[in-house]
Structure 1
Amino acid sequence: MDTATGKQPVLREIITATHSRYGRVTQEEETRHGEASVAQEETTLAGRRQELAVDKQTREDRTIKEKTAASRFPYKWLLVGVVVGLAIGVGLLRLLRPYR
């Protein structure tokens, strides 16, 4: 019922009202879809940035670990050298002692 006239709306008025409502709803949905797309792109970009940061940190950690391993002083070889040096020294002392 039309509140102004008290009569039933004619078909053209119904079509116009429906079309107007459909246009409004369509516009709202397109706006929501656009906002959702932007939000999804921002989330994807943030995730990609985070992946790149993790990859960079992993490479840096690997580089530091390689440098540390390469620059570590070979204490085992030092100990082996000292023991061999002492053994040679003791052996030479025993060899040279009888000739004095």
Structure 2
Amino acid sequence: MPRKPALRAVAPDEVAEPTKIRTILEAAEEGSRLEELRAMRRRLARALDDPNTPARDLAALSRRQLEIGREIEAIVVAEDEDHSVVVNADDEAWDGTGY
């Protein structure tokens, strides 16, 4: 699993580079799975906000939007050690009364 880069202090004149928003095709060809899912989520959000989207399509679009959101969240949590569900704890002696 790739490690996050270390944080560093920035110079007063240093400006962050804006992140380029990729199309779904660009993200699929050049980006990571996370970038591809985020591009798909943006596209679905545009369709859901569009008043010309047929009402019959809204349920399927909404369902897929929620599924993609859950996939993104799972990837982010898996990559972030601070949100891990695995606890590194010392073993304790078991006295047999814990049940």
TM-score category (smaller protein) = under 0.3
TM-score by length of 1: 0.28
TM-score by length of 2: 0.28
More relative contact order in 1 or in 2 (CA 8 Å, sep 6+)?
Answer: 2
More helix by share: 1
In our comparison, the structure showing a higher alpha carbon Rg is: 1
